[in-house]
Structure 1
Amino acid sequence: MSSTTEQNREQVREQIRALEELAAMDAEVKILEEKLVEERGTLTSLKDSLKKLDDKLQIDRATVGAADKQRNELQHDVRTMTQQIEHSREKLNRSRTERESNAAQRELEELRKLIRDREEEATRIDGDTASVRGAVETAEGEHKRISEELAAVEGDISAKVNQLEADRSAKGGGRDAIVKRLPPVLFRKYEMIRGRRGNAIAQTTDGTCNKCNMALPPQLYHRLRREPLIEQCPSCNRIIYFAAPAAQKVD
């Protein structure tokens, strides 16, 4: 066996080792990125819930505020008219003629009607806003609960996010060293397949791709088993190579 042939085989073995290390690291980075998304999602969800409650409370409080203002104005009208009734009664008591008496009486009746109208309107407003006031009370309780939950977990989640980002950066830096051990063409193929499949490499020990579980053409399998080779699975297109079963040892 020529030294050149053995060197070529060792290069292929080294490329396979680099691919395995790269795939393992990419899997770890993917897990870290998923954890980052999850942790950030927890914070975002809590903050979004608070924002929605703030928006709802702003609208409902404005509705209640407008109702209270209108109710206060009605109550002010009632107080003013009550005072006017006292003046009308005095006028009625001082009346000297039937005409004066009738006029004072009509004035009293009109004032009493106006007061009833104002009181009925105030009662209607209370009824119409009762559900809104209840919603405000419920939303304020929920806002308090979420605010307390956010305050309790925000610091912890922020620390986790910072650590996960640091871990991802550290592994990303280590990835560059592995990539340098691969031919550029092979690395580009790896990245293209990883983008489509998530996992770019596969192994065969018995003639079956361990990722898509499809049987390899016998000729391809025998070639992979006979000597170190890097090929692609005809079914899933992943980079595939032979891996001896754990009980065997192949040089």
Structure 2
Amino acid sequence: MRKNLQQLGELQRIDLKLDGLQGEKQAMLAEIAALEEKVSGAQGAIAARNEELAALEAERVALDENLATETENITRSEARLKEIKTQKEYQAVSKEISTAKKLTTELEEQILQKGAQAEELQKEISAQQENLQALEQNIAAQKGEVEERIAGLESGIVKDVATREEIVKGLPATVIRRYTMLREQRRGVAVVEAKDGSCLGCNMNLPPQLYNTLFRGDELITCPHCQRMLVLSPEIANG
């Protein structure tokens, strides 16, 4: 049983180490996700600006078509003036031409405004694309560093998992089930040290007779307060 108790202590040590390594790995994966989100956000901003540019271009095309139509109308109306016989009709057509010319002037101004807006937007998009390219290069380097760290962690995890499996093979199935249940119930800590008559898991004093039983190492003892499995601290056990 003494050997089983030592193995339980080692199993707990490895599991806590694995918990820490897995936590580090998850934090690094979250770091990579955050970096990728930055790129995605920049790409989304450029896509939104491109949509605005496309909308501006569509508006400009529509204005060009309207301008062409009005210019055609003016040409036809001016041709009709030569054939008009009455003063009243002449005045009506002249008014139509004047209104159409006013409209074409407004359309030309709007087309110029749309062109200027599109030009400014295109400059902004170009600047954003340059920034995106620099961001992608920077983030690619950062991701590479994080991925290297993850690879290093994973090699350690694989090694510790192999050691853990060997320990588990040497322990009774009933002990492993109890250990696993306690790990789930006690935030990952199923085995704790006892020292100076106290449980270091809950910091409660142990009954003297129970504490003395630990020195014999011939049975599995649990803390009456937190129910965790108890082992002697190494300096006491080896003293």
Cα distance in structure 2, aligned partners of 1:57 and 1:38: 29
Aligned to 1:15: 4
**Amino acid across the alignment from 1:71:** R
**Amino acid across the alignment from 1:180:** K
TM-score by length of 1: 0.74
Gaps of 5+ in 2: none
Task: State the Cα RMSD in Å.
Answer: 3.7
Corresponding residue SS for 1:241: strand
**Amino acid across the alignment from 1:118:** L
Aligned to 1:217: 207
* CA displacement at 1:202 relative to structure 2: 0.9
Aligned to 1:172: 161
* CA displacement at 1:203 relative to structure 2: 1.4
Cα distance in structure 2, aligned partners of 1:190 and 1:51: 44
Are 1:240 and 2:222 counterparts? no
Q: 1:46 aligns with which of 35, 38, 43?
A: 35
Gaps of 5+ in 1: 1-11
| Equivalent residue runs for 1:110-149 within 5 Å | 110-115=99-104, 118=107, 140=129, 143-149=132-138
Paired residues of 1:46 and 1:146 also in contact (CA < 8 A): no
* CA displacement at 1:172 relative to structure 2: 0.8
Q: Which is worse superposed, 34-43 or 138-147?
A: 138-147
Cα distance in structure 2, aligned partners of 1:210 and 1:130: 71
Cα distance in structure 2, aligned partners of 1:127 and 1:237: 76
TM-score by length of 2: 0.77
**Amino acid across the alignment from 1:242:** L
* CA displacement at 1:31 relative to structure 2: 2.1
Q: 1:187 aligns with which of 154, 165, 176?
A: 176
**Identical columns (%):** 24
Number of paired residues?
Answer: 237
Are 1:81 and 2:70 counterparts? yes
Paired residues of 2:67 and 2:108 also in contact (CA < 8 A): yes
1:176/1:126 Cα in 2 relative to 1: closer, same or farther (>3 Å)? same
Cα deviation code 1:179-237 (max 9, x no counterpart): 22222211221122122221211111122211211222343223334x22421112222
Cα deviation code 1:144-185 (max 9, x no counterpart): 453222221233333332332222112211211112222221
